[in-house]
Structure 1
Amino acid sequence: MPNPPLPRSDDPPARFAVTIAPPPSYQHREAFREVAETVDIALRRLGHDSVLTDELRVPGRRPIVFGSNTLSWWGLEVPDDAVLFNLEQIAPESEWVTEELLSLFRRHIVWDYSLRNIAALRELGVPDVRHVPIGHVPELERIPPAVERDIDVLVVGSLNERRLAPIERLRGLGVNAQAHFGLYGPARDALYARAEIILNTHYYDTKIFEIVRVSYLLANGLFVVSEDCADAEEAAPFAPAVAFTGYDRVVETCLHYLDSPAERAARIEAGREIMRDRPATGYLAAAVADLERRVVGP
């Protein structure tokens, strides 16, 4: 898809480095890739000077950092003016919510995609956190349809018993159900393209809607069955596209939609439209304006 001309404003563009912080040797850094790309593209569409990079310090550029939850592993420190974009679920049972990470968040501006996360962070003493929803850029509509959709139900992501149980039940019923971990980029997208249904079940009991994963699927015309979420308000805008269901009805719901191609097609079209109505430029324009107000003062 060709890139349209990027709009310019009369104000000088801000200079950003959208940074995927974990080192290239860490495979799971790629979990941040699509949102980081979206932020970088949206900033450039707004007329700002942005680069997508692996470097935490790029002279003359303000970093927007993904993967700050892993920084302590590598002994990495972020510049004082860094914005930390959190994509992890802030849940009591999460291994990511450490005092070390919270201390880092308290020293920086934090952007977060989830209102539920934001409320939890504020309760944990992180005052400077702004809601930046996951938005859409047309460049990320990039998964071509497979010649044959030979996978019935697919899960890709971190796996535990809770996520594997429905897959095992479906296999027992003769359904070609697959679960994969550690796949990213083209290899993962090729699997997505072959699947009739992408299944989204929660890893934690907190049940925050995994919009980070699901948004990319909807934008690329993929059909999603998802376990119900704890926050109905966050999930409601996606209800015309995503087939939400209780955990105990996941298998039944998958079987229903496998036999209902017309219903799948209608939800797929709704998903594309929902994402196209969520331009990332709008969310990033508000977030950058907030940063600029802090520089200039009231």
Structure 2
Amino acid sequence: MTINQPISALPAGLPDLAFLTEKAASTGSVIIYQPYLDPSQRGQLDKAAVPLDISFNTQASTREYELFRILHQHHEAIGLGDDVFWGLLSSKFEMKSVTSFPSFVTEAEKARADGADAYLYNPLIGHAAIYSNVWEHSLLGGHPGMEPIFLHIQKLGHPIALPQDKRAFMFCNYFCGNRKFWSGYFAFCERILESLENEARLGTAAGAAYAGAANYSRDANANMRPFVIERLLGLYVQQAAASGLKITAFVPTVADFEWKFGVRLGRMLHSLFAAKEAFLQSRDQALLTSWQEGRQPLIKQPHLIWGADDPPAWMPRGHFTGGREMMRADAPQPSGAAAAKQQEVHAEMPAAPAAPKIEPLRNAIRPFAGGWQAHKDRHCIWIVTPANYNHSHAFDEVALGLQGAFEELGGSAPIVRDMNAFAGRAPIIYGGNLLPAEIVGHLPKDSVVINLEQVSEESIWINSRYTSILKSLPVLDYSPRNRENLAAKGIEHAGVLEIGYSRCLSQIKHAPVKDIDVLFYGSMNERRHHILKALEQGGLKVAHLFNIYGAERDAAIARAKVVINIHHYASGVFEIVRISYLLANCVCVLSEGDIRDPDLQPFIGGLAIEPYDTMIERCHKLIADADERDTIAAKGFAAMQTRSQAEMLMSVMEADAR
């Protein structure tokens, strides 16, 4: 469908005016559609919803917006009343939200009765607590590469940098409104989208980003355009509210945060949400400072919040036993209650079950008991891979290197991603931080966890669940320093298996012409963005990849003159897991670090090492000096070759044979 063009033909089967009028009469003039792609999905829809067949709307560049336009045009064509609220809620609403579909309808009814023009519901309440606005979310990892787009939108006169409150921090997910709201929304969006379409035709940076890939972990084929559109809603709301449009929005309570994130994290997020809202009301700088300081650990490692706010498809729907539930206006009432004012229903939250107590496996707490001969063909290498979690591929190369070590020594260890593929072997586990605590009782004898997580108070992964697993199984850590930090947490039995070199890791064929000056891959935060933006503004061609692994990432590495490594935290530990693969492929790497760091000593000369403040200057010098880049890459490869993964593995095996 072309932007800013009339829809030539509406799909068949849209409900007629008589049906919609009858529906509106039974739901306080609120009509909510729910979409489905094939008939088997209709059973997942709420009974109060109007089913909408969207099998015609499956292009990578289209999502809800096209459906909104179709429904709006249809309603105008049949003469649906101007004051009727309508909207479109995904069948996943009760997976993401803290309330039910009927509750949404009831709240929309109330908003309309109170004179509002629209009712908006942001299910991503954790996002609203830690991000200033939806554009910052994209910049810090939500959809990397969107920056040229919102710079263009800013040039059009829209203040995208303003913080967004509970009414404006919205994605194009769950909202409904009257004709006045919808007409204004489309007029606003079409002006911006038409401009971006023109940028795409001209081939500008904004246009290329708009027409390009969304870097979306759950749909590799998705284009950026729908994710730009979903962020326009908040901009429209800010402008429309200033012009007199009345907006009512869902406001989460502390109970909602606790239900979604657990008590400790939930209360922390609610306090941040409240501090941000209070600042936007009062402009008290002390409140802003409190919010900024409180959110820093969370925006550095936001994946726990992302996963709970927008859960993967395998998560069950909410039962709302602890969430906020509103009774439907048309629900059966106890005798004598019909005239009573409706009250919120707070179901009692059941007591949380105690975490399973896991007793350490005293007889199997050390890995590889019996040495090489007992284990040469005993193991598989398990990369823990939850459904729809693409980041498990971050373990691919270290797993490949370990598999190569087994083979070089005359053994075997196939790589698997599912427990059903163990085939009688005991797993060597990468990604143990993704496992439930109960897994310990279901693992074969001789299972081993390899910890690649940096042990830091800032890490969301080093939590009670994961440490209980580490205390109960044999553990090998990738770093002697990290192993000391594990010991401080009571995991004193952990051994060390450092990251080494196997021949199978050298698999990138470098491009004859390197058209990328600087490549960075990984999640984005403020300190990383500062460096990359400065390099780009300094005239370098900078590429950023996020959630891209395997052949696509390797193709970008092959085209890059320099791959830059910037710590996520100012106090970051040397990222040997990431850098080892680059060195094994003769890549020139510029890494943030202190040349006195013991972890860096094996690689001196084979890495360009700079403190944060001088990385930009050093990067420009490297881009200007191909000979220095080649020298660094060659020395890095040589240093990596001296670190035989097979010898390291055998050393661990022999130590545990004694």
| TM-score (normalizing by structure 1) | 0.90
State the AA in 2 paired with 1:113: Y
CA shift for structure 1 position 164: 1.4
Residues 1:53 and 2:416 aligned together: yes
Contact 1:208 1:231 in 2 (8 A): no
Residue 256 and residue 230 in structure 1: after superposition, are their counterparts in 2 closer, same or farther (change >3 A)?
Answer: closer
Deviations, residues 141-178 of structure 1 (Å, cap 9, x unaligned):
01001132111111001221111110001111111112
Match of 1:215 among 554, 562, 580: 580
Q: Which of 505, 511, 517 is residue 152 of structure 1 equivalent to?
A: 517
The reply to whether residue 84 of structure 1 matches residue 449 of structure 2 is yes
- Which deviates further from its counterpart, 220-229 or 181-190? 220-229
Alignment of 1:143-292 (within 5 A): 143-229=508-594, 232-292=597-657
Q: Which has the larger radius of gyration?
A: 2
Q: Which of 403, 420, 426 lines up with 1:40 in the alignment? A: 403
Contact preservation (8 Å) 1:209, 1:234? yes
* Counterpart residue identity of residue 380, structure 2: A
Per-residue CA shift, 1:114-154, capped at 9, x if unaligned?
12211110001001111111011111101001132111111
| Structure-1 residue corresponding to 2:436 | 72
Q: What is the CA-CA distance between 1:231 and the residue it aligns to?
A: 6.9
Q: Secondary structure at the match of 2:460?
A: coil
Q: Which residue of 1 aligns with 2:388?
A: 25
Match of 1:16 among 347, 369, 379: 379
> 2:586–2:634: 8 Å Cα contact kept in structure 1?
yes
Which residue does 1:296 correspond to in 2?
Answer: none
Contact 1:64 1:83 in 2 (8 A): yes
The equivalent residue for 2:506 is: 141
Q: Is the 8 A contact 2:400 2:504 kept in 1?
A: no
Contact 1:225–1:244 (8 Å) recurs in 2: yes
Cα distance in 1 between the residues matched to 2:373 and 2:574: 37
Contact 2:500 2:648 in 1 (8 A): yes
Q: Read off the aligned partner of 2:580 and give its amino acid letter.
A: S
Q: In the alignment, what sits opposite 1:6?
A: none
Look up the match of 1:93.
458
- Alignment partners' CA distance in 2, 1:72 and 1:230: 39
Separation of aligned partners in 2, 1:15 and 1:49? 8
Equivalent pairs counted in the alignment come to 284
Q: Is the 8 A contact 1:208 1:229 kept in 2?
A: no
Report the Cα distance in structure 2 between the residues aligned to 1:185 and 1:41, rounded to whole angstroms: 17
> Displacement, 1:49?
3.1
> How far does the alpha carbon of each residue in 1:214-272 deviate from its partner, in whole angstroms, 9 at most, with x for none?
11101111100010159711101111110100100010010111111111111111011
Other structure's SS at 2:455 match? coil
Match for residue 490 of structure 2? 125
Say which is worse superposed, 9-18 or 191-200, in terms of deviation: 9-18
Q: What SS class does the counterpart of residue 104 from structure 1 fall into?
A: helix
Which stretch has the larger CA shift, 283-292 or 153-162?
283-292
> 1:291, CA displacement in angstroms?
4.2
Q: Which residue type is aligned with residue 117 of structure 1?
A: N
AA aligned opposite 1:31: A
* Alignment match of 2:426 (pick from 53, 62, 75): 62
Deviations 1:272-291 (A, max 9, x none): 11111111001111222344
Could you tell me how far apart the structure 2 residues matched to 1:43 and 1:229 are?
34
Give how far 1:87 is off.
Answer: 1.1
Structure 1 counterpart of 2:9: none
Q: Which has the higher strand share?
A: 1
RMSD: 2.0
CA distance in 2, matches of 1:33, 1:292: 28
8 Å CA contact retained: 2:403, 2:412: no
In structure 2, the CA distance between the partners of 1:72 and 1:262, relative to structure 1 (3 Å rule), is same
Which residue of structure 2 lines up, in the alignment, with residue 3 of structure 1?
A: none
Ranked by relative contact order (alpha carbons within 8 Å, sequence separation 6 or more), the top structure is: 1
Change (3 A) 1:10 1:268: closer
Q: 1:159 is matched by which residue type in structure 2?
A: M
Match of 1:110 among 475, 489, 495: 475
User: For 1:287 and 1:233, how far apart are their aligned partners in 2?
Assistant: 21
1:291 to 1:54, Cα distance in 2 relative to 1, 3 A: farther
Q: Measure, in 2, the Cα distance between the counterparts of 1:16 and 1:10.
A: 11
- Residue 50 of structure 1: how far off its partner (Å): 1.7
Q: Please, which runs of 5 or more residues in structure 2 have no aligned partner?
A: 1-370
Return the alpha-carbon distance in structure 1 between the equivalents of residues 387 and 605 of structure 2: 38
Task: Give percent identity, aligned residues only.
Answer: 34
State the SS of the aligned residue for 1:50: coil
Deviation at 1:94, TM superposition (A): 0.8
Q: Is the 8 A contact 1:145 1:194 kept in 2?
A: yes
3-state SS of 1:49 partner: coil
Please state whether the residue corresponding to 2:568 is helix, strand or coil.
coil
Change in 2 beyond 3 A, CA 1:279/1:39? same
Distance in 2, matches of 1:66 and 1:222, equals 25
